[in-house]
Every structure is written in structure tokens, then in C-alpha cells.
Amino acid sequence: MGMTMRLLSALLLVAMAGPALAQEQEIRSANLPRELEWRLLRMYDGDARRVNGETAIPRLEVVSGDLAAYGGPLRIAGRVMGDVAMVAGDVFIEPGGSVTGSVTVVGGQVRLADGGRVAGTITSYAMTPRRRSDVRIAERETERDRDDDRDRDDDWWEARRERWRDRGYARLTLRAGSSYNRVEGLPVMFGPIIQTAGPNPLRVEALVIWRSESGADLDTDRMGYQATLEQFLGGNRAISFGGSVFSLVDPLDRWQVDDLEASLAAAVFGVDFRDYFDRTGWSAFASVRPTRALDARVEYRSEEHGALAAADPWSLFDGGEPWRLQPIVAEGDVQTLGGSLTLDLRDDDDDPARGWFARVAVERPVGGSLIRPDLVAVTPHRAPLFIDQPVPPVVSATPMNLDFTTALVDIRRYTPVGYRSQLNLRAVGGGSLSSEALPPQFQHALGGLGTLPGFDTFLVDCGARSAAGSHEGSRFFPAYGCDRFALGQAEYRGTLSLDFGIGDPDWDDDDWWDDVRVDLSPTWVVFFDAGRGWGFDEPAFGGDRDTGMLYDAGIGFLIGDVGIYGALPLNGDVEQEPRFFIRLGRRF
């Protein structure tokens, strides 16, 4: 008897899960505004009463709270004390029926009879698929498109994650850190993660970081750590506050390339697209996310900064070339207050076809003392592009002025301009707001994969890498980059439709056609970039710290998430030769 009851219970849960997953899949596949999609998913996954198939709310019946329906039709002759949502069906508000909130229908219609009443808004959306550059959703039925099958699988897993998100858990984790790099090799993080149940959970992480460059000896002095406590408030995790303690190897200019690209380039080809410094200290933060598209955060940090020399981690194809030197950073303690505001109105986070993205971040020191260490035995490192005076043999230790404010602004616009083609624009700028020279760890540099790919990595650095010197037995560049920069990027994207198969593609009623047909739709891109940097301090090597405006242009092809590009510098004192590179996904 016990086994039979458990079996029946399992079958009942499976039967109930099917329609719920279908609702979430259809909501996610429809081209809905981001805030509406988020609200509907929370209704179907929250406390709303859910009904499937033909349903009637008879006269005199009162439904307390929201009502989420699927398949329809839904006939309301009674009273619903909340919002009504319907997926793939119609809603009929019959005479005497009422809804105190709003009625939203995806894939159906709302019919309001005389004597029916809806206090809020009435909105209906067609089942318009979300646009993706690599899926021909509009050309063929969803069930007959293999790429859509993959998307449905992704939506299914995302739906499961949403359903389990508000349940508490405690687990031990072992995972790779942010990126493989030439300073610490592979950072491996391990430790407990605890999260309480409910819509306002408390999350605790306490992770130790082992760095592969430290070797098999677990020397605690060469290990890092990161512990975070975060409390969510407001339901739906709309508000949070917390604090953290940390000892990290952190990249400068993280925005230029993502962690995966940086890791693969370093581990496979022995090329590191970032520079790094040591951060140890604590922080307190608060964030607000009133909608899915808007995110605001403020944070206070008290840190010790230190310079890190390049090590010698393993790479698969290093070519025998040594790793690029690290820049020296100003060392000491600093307290900063910063904030950021992000507005994301794109229709897709990973492969947007339309919409705006904007992010503004501001940071200001409020205390501390930083000193740029001295460098001895300074010698020219490469042909100086912006420096025209002799290099001094010694750069003395220099106290840094902390009376400055920095900002970073990133604005993007994605615009469809034709059938499966786009014009995308991006403007990025940042640095010192008051024409004050910055410590190296607050500077910026352009050039290379994520900014001006026609030029060498960090070529636009206001002369920071024109020389190198020694500090405590290791060689460093005397700075990281410019005190202010501006970057503009534009690209036009189109799609090539290439079909290979046997038979007549008009025979849509023959299933065997899909089994022998190969559909390739690579994306082609033409792009143009322009960037410039400024420096405000007295240059250690003389010369003008203004780099002037530099331009490049190029073309690329993407198949899936892999893109092969070529870029050509259009000016500057460099060889006018094309540079080829590979990217995993879009340029921006």
C-alpha cells in the first residue's frame, strides 16, 4: 500500500509539473517586455492559484489572490481578488464577473461582456517568438527546428532553477575562480555555501582560494579567500545588503573581455589579455533591483593594494615566449565609496537584436595612503609611440594624490535594420572626472581584443609600457595606462542562409526532408572602432600623454558562438597589417 501511494504521488507530481513547465517555456519563448516576462514567471512559480484547461469561476465564487491559467478557455462569472494571467488560451469576463487587478493574456484574447468589470489594465500578446540570430523560428514550425529544441531545453532547466530558487540549501562547492591568468595560474575556490529558504533568503559563502602557481604545498600565505554575507529583502530579491572580506587577485579593466575568453587565451595560447593587482580587505554594500531591467548598487570598501609580478603558469601552446610584464600599482591602504546604475532593455542578454544597455559606475577615495614604489634599472621596453625623450634609469617612489573621482560609462544600442540584420553602436568612456592623475590601478588602457583589435594589446596606454624597471627583484611597467579614455564601436551584422540537402524543400509534409538537410546560417560582421587616451601627470619619460585618436576596421564571421575576425589599423605609428583573432560570442 505504501509503495502504491508513493507511486501515485510521483505520477501526480509529474502530471502537475508538465503544464507548469509548458507555461514557463511559452512565456520565455514569447517576445515579451522583460519586466512583464519576469512578473508572469513569478506569478506561475509563486503563490498564485493555477488552473489548466477549460476552467470556470462560477457566480458567487471568490478567488482570493492572483489566478494563473494555461490552455483555457477561462470563464469568470464570479470575482477574482487579484491579477489574472493566461497562457495559450482565451479569457471571458462574463456579466457580473469581475477582476480587481489586471488581466494579461499571452497567446489568446480577452472578451469583456456587458456587465463584466476589470479594475486594472487588459493586455494581450501574440505568441511571437523571441528573436535569435542563429535560429529560424519564424521560418518553420517550432517542433521541426532543431535549434529551437535546444532553446526549449535551456528554458526547461531555467524553469527548474527558478522553481528551486526560493528553497534553502547548504552545500560544499569546488569550482574554478574567475579566470586563468599569468599571476596565479588557475584559482580554485572551495568551501561552504548556505542559503535559507523563502523569498528573502540569507546567503553565506566562505571560500578559500588555492592558486595553482603556488604548487602542491598548501601555504596559507599564498592562498586567498572570499567570504560574503548577503540578506535579501522586499520579495523577489529586489533589495539586498551585506558585506564581504576578501584577498583576491583582481583584473584591471575587467569590462574589455569576459572571464572565459581571458582564461582560454592564457591557458591555451599563453596570451593574457588582462593585468592584475592584489586586493585584500572588506566591504559593505546595498543593492536595489526594482525591475528586471534596472539595478542600482552602492558599496564601501577598505582595502590594501599590492603589486604582483608575472609568474610562469603552464599553457598549451606558449611558443616559448615569456609572459608579458605586469604594471606596478600604488601600494598601501585606501578606502573608497562607489556606486553603479545599470539599465538593460535588450531583448536578449546573450544575443540581443534590439534595445538599449547603459551602465554608469562612479568611485571616489575617502581615505587612505597610496605610494607608487620606486623602479630601478629602468630601460626602454618597446619603440615608444608617444614618448620622445630619454628614459631615466630610476623612477622614484611617488605618493599618490587621492583627491579624485573616477567614472565609467558604457552605452549600447542594438537596432534591427532589415531581415536578420542589425546596426549596433557602443560608446565607452571613463577615468578621472577632475583632470587629476590617477594611481595605476585606477587607470585604463585600450588596444587589443575587446577595444581596438587592429592594434596590439594595451598599445594605447599613454606611454605606460614604453619602459620597464625592477622592484624587489621583478620587472614591472611603471604604470597601467591613461587617466582618461574614450572608445566608440560600430558594427553591421547580417546573416548568410546556406541550405544543403536532397529533395525538394517545398515538400513540407515529408518528414524525411529534415533528416537529410543541413542548415548553416553564419553571421557576418563589418565593424569600425575609434579610441583615444589622455594622461594628466608629468610623464616619467617626457613627451605628450595624449595618444590622439586611433582608428581600425575589420570583418568577421560567426558560426554559433565562435567568431573569426580580421582587423586593420587605419592610422598610428604601427605596421598597417591585418590582425586575426577568435572570439567566443559577440564583440559587445
**Which structural domain range is residue 216 located in?**
166-324
Considering just the CA atoms, what is the radius of gyration of the chain in Å?
28
Whether 298 and 208 share a structural domain: yes
Whether 37 and 134 share a structural domain: yes
Q: Tell me, yes or no, whether 344 lies in a domain.
A: no
Going by the DSSP 8-state scheme, the letter that residue 543 receives in this structure is S
Q: Tell me, yes or no, whether 377 lies in a domain.
A: yes
Whether 294 and 387 share a structural domain: no
84 in Cβ contact with 74 (< 8 Å): yes
Strand ordering across the sheet containing 376-380: 326-327, 474-477, 467-471, 376-380
- Note the Cα 434 to chain centre separation in Å: 29
At 192, list the grid cell: 561552504
Per-residue CA distances from 100 to 40, 69, 75 (Å): 17, 16, 15
Q: How many separate domains does the chain show?
A: 3
Whether 484 and 523 share a structural domain: yes
Q: Tell me, yes or no, whether 330 lies in a domain.
A: no
Per the document, the length of the chain is: 588
Whether 156 and 202 share a structural domain: no
Whether 40 and 68 share a structural domain: yes
345 in Cβ contact with 294 (< 8 Å): no
Domain's final residue, options 324, 352, 375: 324
Q: Tell me, yes or no, whether 333 lies in a domain.
A: no
Residues with Cβ within 8 Å of residue 493, at least 6 apart in sequence: 133, 421, 422, 423, 424, 523, 524, 525
96 in Cβ contact with 75 (< 8 Å): no
Q: Tell me, yes or no, whether 331 lies in a domain.
A: no
518 CB burial (10 A radius; 0-12, 13-18, 19+): exposed
Q: Tell me, yes or no, whether 268 lies in a domain.
A: yes
Whether 130 and 258 share a structural domain: no
DSSP-derived secondary structure for 299-338: EEEEEEEE---------SS-TTPPPPPEEP--EEEEEEEE
Whether 170 and 156 share a structural domain: no
Domain's final residue, options 163, 191, 219: 163
What does residue 406 show for φ and ψ, rounded to 5 degrees?
Answer: -115, 155
Report the distance separating Cα 481 and Cα 538, nearest Å: 14
Q: Tell me, yes or no, whether 329 lies in a domain.
A: no
Domain's final residue, options 163, 198, 231: 163
Per-residue pLDDT of the chain (588 residues; tens, 9 = 90+): 444 444 444 443 334 444 445 556 667 666 677 677 777 777 776 678 888 888 999 988 888 888 988 887 999 999 998 899 988 889 999 998 999 988 998 888 899 888 899 988 888 887 654 443 333 333 333 334 444 444 545 554 555 555 555 678 889 999 888 889 999 999 999 999 999 988 889 999 999 999 998 877 777 778 999 999 999 998 778 899 999 999 999 999 999 999 999 999 999 999 999 999 999 999 999 999 988 889 999 999 999 999 999 999 989 887 778 899 999 999 999 999 999 999 999 988 778 888 999 999 999 999 999 999 999 988 888 654 444 556 778 888 989 999 999 999 999 999 998 777 899 999 999 999 988 899 999 999 999 999 999 999 999 998 888 889 999 999 999 999 999 999 999 999 998 766 555 555 444 444 444 445 555 678 899 999 999 999 887 655 544 578 899 999 999 999 888 899 999 999 987 888 899 999 988 899
What's at 20, amino acid-wise? A
End-to-end CA distance of the chain: 59
Per-residue CA distances from 40 to 25, 76, 232, 325, 380 (Å): 12, 20, 21, 51, 61
Whether 19 and 142 share a structural domain: yes
Whether 152 and 175 share a structural domain: no
Strand ordering across the sheet containing 110-112: 55-57, 74-76, 91-93, 110-112
Residues with Cβ within 8 Å of residue 217, at least 6 apart in sequence: none
Closest CA to 531 of 492, 580, 575, 482: 482
Whether 98 and 188 share a structural domain: no
Whether 410 and 536 share a structural domain: yes
